[in-house]
Structure 1
Amino acid sequence: MTTKVEKYLEPFRLSLEKLKEVSVRLKKDLIRGLGKHSHHRAAVKMLPTFVRATPDGTEKGDYLALDLGGTNFRVLYVRVVEEQQKVVKMDSKICSIPQEMMLGTGEQLFDHIAQCLGEFLESQDLKGQTLPLGFTFSFPCEQKEIDKSILIRWTKGFSCSGVEGQDVVKLLKEAIHRRGDYDIGSVAMVNDTVGTMMSCGYRDQSCEIGMIIGTGTNACYMEEIKNVKRVEGEDGRMCINTEWGGFGDDGSLKDILTEFDEVVDQTSINPGVHTFEKMISGMYLGEIVRLLLVKMAEDKLLFKGETSEALLTPGQFETKYISEIEDGLENAQKILTALGLNWDPVDACVVRLVCDTISSRSARLCAAALATISNRIRVNRGLDHLKTTVGVDGTVYRKHPNFSEELQAAVRLLAPKCDITFLVSEDGSGKGAAMVTAVAQRIALQSRLLEDSDGEDEEDEDEDEEDK
């Protein structure tokens, strides 16, 4: 019995050597994604975010944040308090987007957003102020500047006309101007992964990596600008949104994909896309387990060879069940009963082992990818030893009983010269977006100050010339 069960689970158990190979492949993909001519065919997109620094602790003031990534959007009023090194949410409001609006015109959608923002400002007595705004817009975009971002395509059930190919900041500002009853200051476009990094970066200024392991998975990190070939400039750094979910879309991970991963991919809404994400994230882990349990039952290794209607239905084994089952056998028994299965104590133990194997593979693959990024930062800076912090978010990381321990243990083995601290992010798409805006303002102010002082130097030089 045990050997037969192991036969199914073996392909999911990745050795340290195999994880090192995965890490090396990702390293090549990061470089390809950063290249000027190679990025368009790269599986890992490495998108420049135009976020040029992490917090230095001097940021302060009041900000607005707008978070649009699904059927609801949030408006937040955030205060950055320098003395306490804290980002405080003063208040927030959730507005829903009706189905017909998700399929209507872009003008309607942005008018709705501008209206909700206006009502919120009214309720906070802020209409007279012109506050800077951080805009988290969680759809595939090509960012051109910190305040210019072109929507590539709608996802998540949206298909508003007249938005794809357009600058979403411009559309938002136009909608606000159509109303004419309030205004906003400078806008910073924020990817939720970047927000995750930035919301931790005020508490811990060595936070230079952001990572999300939830419904989907992604990471960002601070890269040297000279390596970002699509952006002009040699000095300083820029945060890169890796979009690492697409790792393997060119077939580079074929040797570690199992037959179950292939079924998950073929039956997903985006076959052939987001290969890495489908082995890791919450949207797919439950389905991998379900497929395994069905196959094992058919092979008479579980439930006396019988299945149930629920077990045979795609999506019915939810990812949250994995966390619950690994938390205790009595949970496993409750869930198996709820799925209409006839189980015995051995079945419950085997199911728990299956869950543990699938979540463990996810954690170890994430670790391999994170090791690639931290080693890259270390080598970029010519350091023997790197001490850095990762801001993390996502339900899989937060809720699973031992995912974070497993991930951290594997990273220590794969990046032994990096000492990595993990911080769970607080509201990256809200507070983090405000922080991105605060940092962008600080940098704009600093460069204005620099320009002014350069001007003064020139005048002094002119006088010197005259004296001679």
Structure 2
Amino acid sequence: MSRAVTEGASEDDARSQVEDVLLPFDLPLEKLCEVSKRLDENLTKGLTKETHDKASVKMLPTFVRDTPDGTENGDFLALDLGGTNVRVLHVRVEENLQNLLYKKPIPEYIKKGKVEELFNYIADVLAESLKELELKEKVLPLGFSCSFPCEQKDIDKANLIRWTKGFACSGGVGCDVVKLLKEAIKRKEESEEHNLFQVYKIQPVAILNDTVGTMMSCPYKDQSCEIGLIIGTGTNACYMEEMRDVKRVEGDEGRMCINTEWGGFGDGDDGSLQDVRTEFDKKVDLSSSNQGVHTFEKMISGMYLGELARLVLIEMTEKNLLFGGKGSKALSTPYSFKTPFISEIEKENTGLKRAQEILKDLGLSAKQKDCEIVQQVCETISTRSAQLCGAALAAVANRIRNNRGLSHFSTTVGVDGAVYAQHPHYSDRLQKTVQKLAPNCTITFVKTEDGSGNGAAMAAAVVKRLKRKKSTSSFLK
């Protein structure tokens, strides 16, 4: 790490004080191993009927029972309901064609209105997008990617748990979002004499979240992918679990994708992360709009990394270790130090210069040694994030290997998210941690492209393949 000191303290004394502030973020391998084991215990707790309700890691069944095997073919639609936009994509699987048909922002009044108005808006966007297609008289299976927490009841049934991302639609919580979509499409059909839905036969067949979409978008090219990982604004993971261990769903044959919702690891009375949380983590939680929840996510995701760095910089300034002890109004403003700043400041060759520019924009008088300390702060916080994420991923990989009775397990992890994609060293730090904590697993990391869209279409394609296989088997009997 970079070494630097400021005026007002001897070199050794200042260096020691900087290290003291950052020391709580330094996690030795033994502690990371403990975190990994604790998460594994929580995975089991979330899967078990008797303990699920009290589990901080919810382990939600997705009813996705297989990944693409390369035989999928045909035309599919993907509907992506995110926090900002509604998107519709056309995916032709055998040609690996992905075509964004339509993208439309969701107005604020729709986000705060009745849930029927939201889904009417979605149906309008879907209808408008169909004008771009030349696939009339075909049945178009649709994969629906919904970025809000849902409790799935089947591959095409999911009840909304709560609104997030600034939405507050009335009447939606507890409702089946696929049913809401179908009802909106029907209303659209009845309201227009020559409706596109009567020409393009839309058949919603699968619903999934962005994490599952990330996993599903990868295997068409790499069929060994059995884990999906998100490291962006938030963090989450999913993986293919043995059905015999999915106690909340009937059946014990085959596998099912489990949406871990590991961002909640350490929530409530769990206490699994109390010995690794710093005072800065606790401050971030207290100032958040969702106190006491998403404990793990607040320690490692892009939503909070910049704020953690800002709080550390403030403490160092107050200790006269930075900026001659003089802060600024901007630095005192919550979330003014953006997470992308961390990636920019850690870049080789240009990082220190970029630090100087960022600090100047924040109204701070920064010398070279100040920039070096800021770079050290960024490196420390992003490294802890990567190591904690690596410890969690190692828990999942080791679990799969043990469940299958393998001496060695090889798989591919589909990864999406700006923190992983944009940080210059994050992926290396993550992979090194996984290698140390899961030495009997060989893991290949693949950055996916538009998992929420492409993955939703691939999920629909897999459902179609499995239904075709089941129909053929029944006929042969």
Task: Give the TM bin, normalised by the shorter chain.
Answer: over 0.9
Q: Counterparts in 2 of 1:178-189, with a 5 A limit?
A: 178-180=187-189, 181=195, 182=197, 183-189=201-207
SS of the equivalent of 1:184 reads: strand
Query: Does the alignment pair 1:230 with 2:248?
Result: yes
User: Distance in 2 between the 1:300 and 1:368 partners?
Assistant: 35
- Structure 1 residue corresponding to 2:426, chosen from 403, 421, 439: 403
Q: Which runs of 5+ in 2 are unaligned?
A: 1-13, 190-194
Alignment partner, residue 207 of structure 1:
225
- Answer whether contact 2:178 2:204 (CA < 8 A) is retained: no
- Answer whether contact 1:121 1:127 (CA < 8 A) is retained: no
- Structure 1 residue corresponding to 2:392, chosen from 349, 357, 369: 369
Displacement of 1:450 = 1.5
Query: Does the alignment pair 1:157 with 2:180?
Result: no
Alignment partner, residue 118 of structure 2:
109
One-letter amino acid of the structure 1 residue matched with residue 103 of structure 2: I
SS of the equivalent of 2:140 reads: coil
User: Distance in 2 between the 1:189 and 1:41 partners?
Assistant: 26
User: Distance in 2 between the 1:146 and 1:294 partners?
Assistant: 48
- Answer whether contact 1:118 1:127 (CA < 8 A) is retained: no
Alignment partner, residue 81 of structure 2:
68
Alignment partner, residue 452 of structure 2:
429
User: Distance in 2 between the 1:187 and 1:387 partners?
Assistant: 31
Q: Counterparts in 2 of 1:248-263, with a 5 A limit?
A: 248-249=266-267, 250-263=270-283
- Structure 1 residue corresponding to 2:62, chosen from 38, 43, 49: 49
Measured against aligned partners, the alpha-carbon deviations of 1:46-93 in whole angstroms (never above 9, x if no partner) come to 000000001111001100001012121101111101xxxx63213321
SS of the equivalent of 1:132 reads: strand
Q: Counterparts in 2 of 1:137-176, with a 5 A limit?
A: 137-176=146-185
SS of the equivalent of 2:411 reads: strand
- Structure 2 residue corresponding to 1:273, chosen from 293, 300, 309: 293
TM-score by length of 2: 0.93
Displacement of 1:109 = 1.1
Alignment partner, residue 321 of structure 1:
341
TM-score by length of 1: 0.95
SS of the equivalent of 2:429 reads: helix
Alignment partner, residue 208 of structure 2:
190
Measured against aligned partners, the alpha-carbon deviations of 1:11-43 in whole angstroms (never above 9, x if no partner) come to 000000000000010010000000011111100
User: Distance in 2 between the 1:308 and 1:160 partners?
Assistant: 39
User: Distance in 2 between the 1:440 and 1:272 partners?
Assistant: 38
One-letter amino acid of the structure 2 residue matched with residue 90 of structure 1: N
Displacement of 1:162 = 1.9
Displacement of 1:96 = 1.5
Q: Counterparts in 2 of 1:374-389, with a 5 A limit?
A: 374-389=397-412
Displacement of 1:158 = 1.1
Alignment partner, residue 3 of structure 2:
none
Identity over aligned residues, as a percent?
61
One-letter amino acid of the structure 2 residue matched with residue 31 of structure 1: T
Measured against aligned partners, the alpha-carbon deviations of 1:104-126 in whole angstroms (never above 9, x if no partner) come to 11111111111111111023234
Point out the more displaced range, 65-74 or 274-283.
65-74
Number of equivalences: 450
User: Distance in 1 between the 2:430 and 2:470 partners?
Assistant: 40
- Structure 2 residue corresponding to 1:299, chosen from 319, 324, 343: 319
- Answer whether contact 2:205 2:463 (CA < 8 A) is retained: no
